[in-house]
Structure 1
């Protein structure tokens, strides 16, 4: 369960929960997310966890989980999603629906749909199936992404005879166990690939709802009989010959032909090309295909060369770990951590010596390869699970590895620090307006979603007395301010409703300069997170009530206004940059399609960020213009070259 969870969530969960004092000192990371587990689909039995330890413990008593994670631990809603990690489908087998369906039937449906191999298939007690595709890289949730996710999910559910009502990235699915997992592979898919699949199938289905089946190949043995491959075998034009020869050689290789036979067939195929390739080039392409690392042709290349729909999935069951020649790096992570824990949470020595001492939990005779050990250490260090320090250089170098949270947990505090912590907790007490912390792995009122903000000083500074009196009678907290923003201020000792209301007003004014209305700020999760981060930045510069270094109201509000503007400007710049990178890789048709979608958004009665859409449309126009210029330049360059060659030939004839 732990290895599978790490495969899904990566660094969105931590190994162990932090103490409250550690959170106040180091802040909260925006990469983390909450996983919801449930005994059934009722709210009363739902629990949120944020550590692998908590998830492992509750998995014995809970039945369902969310593959995607949330930034709030009290509300499992589409609007509170933080990370999308998987595309998941529910195939029901109730009330006579899909009666008698087996795992091979599900695999057949996936193959016919042209979908990639899934990462996990779980069978439910009712003999239904939950199918999951883990994403290569988690996607940050947004309103637009969530909507597109649901569109793709609906299409996949229709093709797999799944439940088209169980749609949405926020849904619960059955927790995988050794007993109910019927298929598990290390396969992952990019969200862009799923978008391409959706676009391709959508275009075909506009003509015939069953057209998609015509383009899919069931296995390597039928590759050479598929209409798209047969089309390429009829011969290609000059600009396609090299790619076609290499692609066909891989097709023969995948179909089981030896190199000599494949070369003979391709020499015959070459005679159909206009003009033909040189025989030595055919030989080189075949040799490259058979000696290279690819075992089968690219479906994308076959589509491009044939101009026809083509896709295929080859099912390869994952072998047990003890039978693999190379254990998955995530499984080695568990072995490395177990080794360090067995030595008190800290080890030191040369890296080669440390690697020599680590064995596989599945096979005690198998040691971790040195190169794999270095990769594992780098991954664990990046996830902030371990701390690595190196002393000296060269052969005398010594590496110290420490499991961060476990070392922090065993540190003893002095009486003075214990008293400071008690005083801090008293100042930061919860009132009746605060969400009660009943969850595993953290607090219900996070300080910030920022990952690198130093929120509080290491120690309290009693010499700096607050100018904002905590003794004065507090006004009630306004109900129209988002709870996350209220919590960000409340947890720092700002409990007066008037102060919180004025702070929210400064945030609203900052957003207004970018054309964002007051109503849309509170309704958009990303904007609220940005406002919470602005509070963290402001506290770092202007102090807080809880730390005792608060300076003044006016200075705080002015800095909050500027911090919000600066963070949103960076946020907007990142959005545009990501969009430009995305559209540069799209085909002309896809680029046109994205432009139409944006224009439809702009025509809607309620637009959250009109300026962003207008900017994106301008970027699309620039990209389309740039492509036209490149085509124009290419065509004229080719024309000028041909013209020069003709003039040269005419000159030579005249000279003769």
Structure 2
């Protein structure tokens, strides 16, 4: 695709087709959707120009090299403070100074897949053989200080996962203008910013689990950082391709340990003499300056592990005070208090919001009431998570609000997490935003609580007072932790509250996937597969009944039907994916077709594939398309030859006749 198509894909209605005249501005007024795109010949301010129409962008693209995927509300200042719209998540993968030498497009795509990221919208190759990777957003996001900061956090995380430049961070940055020559990959895929936030949250949770995984290499504090064996290994010197990253990482280590910039630079000049080959002294100085002037206060544990090849992790967070010792409560703690209050009233309360807020107190201090502003924020969060429903009747001071718990499973888990945080005295991660929502249960149909519904028990696995899915002679088992929460919720919300039943149902789902060569551990980690399993539960309940509806037809019948439905849904899904693939490759050029074929062959040859049979089928379809194109070319050439031959014979006949 050319620049015109790519630009329209990114900016949509943020640029205009032509410049507005003054009279038109007076008639139509100011358009808050429009934004300025900056283009540049290099990274200096003197060569930067702002454009606001597609025509201007196409005209200057011949003389300018870089552009901003995101747009600004001022045409004289390219800064975070002047950013208006965020349109894309963009990463710079450098191939300079020995880093990422020999990296190819398939290598980049493999890193994206391994990181669990969605397919990018655009990949541009730079003259130094690096890559600029862009994910276009489904909906442009209005820039704000909070959003810009979170964008940079996600961008940094993606850059680390893709071996990109962690210093080329910020939504205001310039990237190379795409052309037909440097565009090596383009798709119609777009990603929502919420999906990127969810991906980032999962990575953060995984990093927290890594603290236990790397227990043997654990570092207790900054003061012992430089003495840790993994850091000492890096201090012994590194090879070409690691020097820049190692120098920056060690500079941050010295910074965290309390050394001033000059001392750290002196130490790193001595360290540089152990490298093979050595870095230039000016490069060492730049890395130290970047580390001490940047926003990072300590090195990345992941980088230390990669550079040293040793176990390493550390958590340098202050120990959180118990709630009763704090002046303010976390929003998750207030969520637990709000849910406890509503549950005590039978799962439903009615009144003005101010009156309701006046009745809610802290679980550790009854003299402390929830602030009204916090109450509204908590209700909005619980409503967004699908835990509460809010219905407002009337207007103004006479308005009445009804709050009702609609998903008891989520409610109890949310309250349990808040209670656990209050009781936990180990060091806490204060780095994450306290407003980050961790919805651990998705999918399935929400279970409404009537005013008469009784909730019994106080443990994490307390269940509603519903009929047991097994014999009443034995107690219901806890909800299994190794089954996807969406699948658990889909059954739990229909009255199947016994963990044994849920575990057996998940076993049937796994057997159905196994019929198609899908290994067990890949099912839970593949969101589309989990969504299919939730859909299978819904279809099975329609035919075999549920506990909550009172028409349950028995376990054996339920499990057999679930197994069959799961097979049918997966077969239909795979067929749809293959059909879509066939439609897509029909419009690709011969070069791109060949490139995709090589990628599929490499994937099948080197790496484990979640759905190998589907990839093999795609490769066969691609080979059929290539064969069909060859036949069409052959037929066209022969037809043209036959037509030319006939004309020549006709001319010869006419001459003979004369």
- TM-score range, shorter-chain basis? 0.3 to 0.5
Larger RCO (CA under 8 A, 6+ residues apart): 1
TM-score where L is the length of structure 2: 0.40
